[in-house]
Amino acid sequence: MKNRKILSLVVLLLVSVNCALGQELKLNSLEYFETQGVNVLVYNNLFNGGFNDEKNAGIELIHHGVRTVQGGAVRLSNTPEQWDLVPKISDRKVNRASKTVEAALRYEEYNFDSRVVVTAKGKGVEIAVYLDKPVPKALEGSAGFNLEFLPSQYWQKAYLMDGRYNRFPRYVVGNNVTRPNSEKPKQYKGYKTADDRGTGRYIDPLPLETGRTFLLAPDDPARLVKITSPEADLMLFDGRMLAQNGWFVVRSLLPAGKTGKVLTWTIEPNAIPNWLREPNIGFSQVGYLPSQPKVAVIELDKKDKPQANSTLYKIGDDGQATKVFSGRITPWGNYYKYNYVKFDFSSVKTPGIYYIQYGNVKTNNFLIQNNVYDKITDATSDVWIPIHMDHMSVNEAYRMWHGEPFKEGYRQAPPNTDHFDLHAQGPTTDTKYKALELIPGLNVGGFFDAGDFDIETGSNISVVQNFVRTWESFKPVRDQTFVDQKQRYVDLHRPDGTPDVLQFIEHGTLNLVAQAEIVGHMTQTLSNSVLDNYHHLGDAASLTDGLPYNPKLGPYEVANDGRSSGVKDDLWAFTSRNPSLDLDAATMFAAASRALKGYNDDLSARALKQSKRLLKESTELLASRPQDSLGRRARADIATNLQLYVSTGEKQYVDRFQQLLWPALDRNVNIFLLTALDAVPHLDAAFKEKLRPYVVKYNTYLSGLEKDNPYGVPIGLGNWAGSGDVTNFGTTICFASKYFPEIIDESHAYKAANWLYGCHPYHNFSLVATVGATRPKAVFYGNNRADFSFIPGNVAPGLLFRKPDHFENYDDWPFFWGQNEGTIGGNTQYLIFGSAFKNLVK
């Protein structure tokens, strides 16, 4: 006991010393609180109201370079889940004189308003909650202030609550109770959210600890945070009790019947004295060709003085490292939060194993070799893509990735139905089918969209188009996958005599042609009817029972003949007609019909028939509608006519293509150039010459990218990171430099590859799973994300931008889809880029 008291005194003394040395937080020009090593953001990023809580909004703490805290809002449950209600931020005020940021929060559903005021207070901030009216009766005991801490940054670290020691658990532990559903505030809109198996009760986690002074991670100064509350208990919850993507939640209930300043917390994040973020040396984990440009981009803390030189070491056959090159560091300048310099070692051409040394920072090793890019698409085409084939069992050696999903088929979504994945069924079905009627024949082909198991029709359309472009441009004969449509069976690493890409085209077209023929147009999506199915993780075949729902049976009852059940788990077809989507499908069908000719002639003919029909019908439906601002409809119209011309040779299509193309290029050459380049092999020299000025204009855009950011590629700043922008950019470069090498330098394509394989902000991991064998990302948002694992060949969206100046990509927490979720559209877009890039370097 005596030793324990001494240890407690030592820990608290260390904490007080660390905190005393911290610098005061200042409200900076970007409207967040800052000192070296600590940033406190206050509603710079808002809850979006779509997926509600994406764990990247509210009050956020970026602690020694890592965003470890988010939320910071009045919430209605102990451990809110993703689709729980979030407050609308109706107003945000910054007062520099009083050093405060204030946000007005409102729950329309309860006519409940509150204000959260954050004030700089010494080494930390004070967070206060104000109410002009008392908490509504319906929310008493439910409304509280929550702040959430990222589990992967705190598990296995210690914490103290009022001097009591404990550790944050690596895996979810704790106690729950069940309560009547009537006691829980209404959190959701229009759909079931928890499968209670008929009990009429819900799960409510109990706190792990309760007290007034909470010290997180006293054993790790980089994550040490102190929270005190003078008038309310602090409760610690583990949000992973209800959802694998839950965080550790610190919460205080709002008092009933009170107004004014009803709650106060003081939060003191520790700032390590003289802390500097370690330089991030961005380079290609895949390696480099001897002849290519080789430039590392080094990301530095703005207070870090750049080194004069950087060094390249070569590892010899005896295992010894030898300095082979030392070069001057070239300044680039500031880009958002950090300063950037470059290290050019292009002159090093000898094949071998190398690493970069910058100051005290040493990278992992990489290769310089003529074959470094030969296998960059293999994992994606051999593993990730076939695993995402829907309506098939997929096996790999001793492992069954999933059984055959959704044998029961799809039912017509009822009119006026909202969907949790941002779809909606309109006021009618737009089909001959009645609400909840089985639509026969849709359970064939298609690809899972991403980390979930729905068929997003728009994505699947682009996927087939991506496969066709890959097939027609590069004729990849790689055959490593056994596909049997009759058995509905796929076996990885087992050649079957047919090029895999051709089988992928067939599989995607089967579902999309079925939609066009059976529904009459393209569905919006084939997706889950209830949320408990949608957030399912694991084997897709276990998501439903495989039996059509029979309303004559009781809940969970199976018919005597074993052919139906009383389980309402059947997936729905959302069928509101979107003529723009039909136009996209017409483009894809025209292209797929060519690729399938001679392999599956029946499907080829059906695809061409649907292309012509959908082009005619969608053109008529769209005639009276304005163009969208991004030109998607125009691009689809242009591309459809091009694909139909290539498929049929009919002059009407090429005339219409050219009629639409040139005005579109005048409006935005970046959007339409790749479609124009697709036409070069099929049209005459006059077309190519007319296209030349637009390629020159695109080259001007490339020069601007060099000035825009230190990486020279388009960097996305939205809620979905920008790997797709980079792969599309790289693909455009590959084709433009092929047809116009005198204008477009192929070196820009290397920049795209470098970005994907490690030369980017935040860290230098390859964004493609298993590609860049030394250090690819190891954790992704896939359907196996609960295992903190990955599916080989997955391509991460990449570096997610958090306003006003922070890029991030977590490799220890998979549940951020905007930065970690590979999609079938994005991964097949990568397949095109990788194929085009390999062709370019050869």
Report pLDDT digits (tens) over 789-838.
999 999 999 999 999 999 999 999 999 999 999 999 999 999 999 999 99
- For range 677-690, the mean pLDDT: 97
pLDDT at 329 over 70: yes
> Residue 584: enclosing H or E segment and its boundaries?
helix 579-596
How far is it, in rounded angstroms, from Cα 544 to Cα 456? 18
Confidence class for position 180, pLDDT limits 50, 70, 90: confident
- For range 698-703, the mean pLDDT: 96
> Residue 280: enclosing H or E segment and its boundaries?
strand 280-282
pLDDT at 192: 39
How far is it, in rounded angstroms, from Cα 349 to Cα 356? 15
Asked if 78 and 39 count as a contact pair (C-beta separation under 8 A), the reply is no
- Amino acid occupying residue 144: G
- For range 17-42, the mean pLDDT: 84
pLDDT at 537: 87
Confidence class for position 185, pLDDT limits 50, 70, 90: confident
pLDDT at 37: 97
- For range 523-529, the mean pLDDT: 93
186's tokens:
């209404």
Q: What is the pTM of this model?
A: 0.94
pLDDT at 83 over 90: no
Structure confidence by residue, pLDDT tens digits, 113-164: 999 999 999 999 999 999 999 999 999 999 999 999 999 999 999 999 999 9
Helix axes 457-474, 500-514, angle to 10 degrees: 150
pLDDT at 188: 54
pLDDT at 195: 45
pLDDT at 194: 41
pLDDT at 249: 98
Please spell the DSSP secondary structure of 93-130, one letter per residue: EEETTTTEEEEEEEEGGGTEEEEEEEEEETTEEEEEEE
- For range 756-779, the mean pLDDT: 95
162's tokens:
């009022």
Pairing of strands 393-396, 489-492: parallel
Could you give the residue numbers annotated as active site? 812, 821
Structure confidence by residue, pLDDT tens digits, 600-648: 999 999 999 999 999 999 999 988 877 665 566 777 889 999 999 999 9
How far is it, in rounded angstroms, from Cα 445 to Cα 466? 16
Confidence class for position 197, pLDDT limits 50, 70, 90: low
Cis omega before residue 221 (within 30°)? no
pLDDT at 23: 77
pLDDT at 345: 98
- For range 306-335, the mean pLDDT: 97
pLDDT at 504 over 60: yes
Asked if 819 and 800 count as a contact pair (C-beta separation under 8 A), the reply is yes
How far is it, in rounded angstroms, from Cα 246 to Cα 79? 7
How far is it, in rounded angstroms, from Cα 443 to Cα 546? 11
- DSSP secondary structure code for residue 441 in this structure: T
Long-range contacts at 308-314 (CB < 8 A, ≥ 24 apart): 310/343, 310/356, 310/357, 310/358, 311/356, 311/357, 311/358, 312/345, 312/348, 312/354, 312/355, 312/356, 312/357, 313/354, 313/355, 313/356, 313/357, 314/350, 314/352, 314/353, 314/354
- For range 202-221, the mean pLDDT: 95
- For range 288-296, the mean pLDDT: 98
Please spell the DSSP secondary structure of 317-367, one letter per residue: TTS-EEEEEEEEEEEEEEETTEEEEEEE-TT----EEEEEEETTEEPPPEE
Bigger pLDDT: 431 vs 635: 431
Asked if 61 and 216 count as a contact pair (C-beta separation under 8 A), the reply is no
- Mean confidence (pLDDT) of the chain: 93
pLDDT at 3 over 50: no
Beta strand spans in 345-460 (E): 352-358, 361-362, 366-368, 393-396, 399-402, 410-412, 417-418, 424-425, 438-439, 455-456
How far is it, in rounded angstroms, from Cα 703 to Cα 17? 51
List Cα–Cα distances, 125 to 25, 72, 99, in angstroms.
8, 12, 10
Q: Which domains, from first to last, does the chain contain? A: 2-269 (2.70.98), 280-368 (2.60.40.10), 377-625 (1.50.10.10)
pLDDT at 730: 98
- For range 167-187, the mean pLDDT: 85
Asked if 578 and 524 count as a contact pair (C-beta separation under 8 A), the reply is yes
- For range 271-277, the mean pLDDT: 97
- For range 196-224, the mean pLDDT: 88
Asked if 819 and 723 count as a contact pair (C-beta separation under 8 A), the reply is no
pLDDT at 534: 81
Phi, psi of 205, rounded to the nearest 5 degrees? -65, 145
Asked if 243 and 81 count as a contact pair (C-beta separation under 8 A), the reply is yes
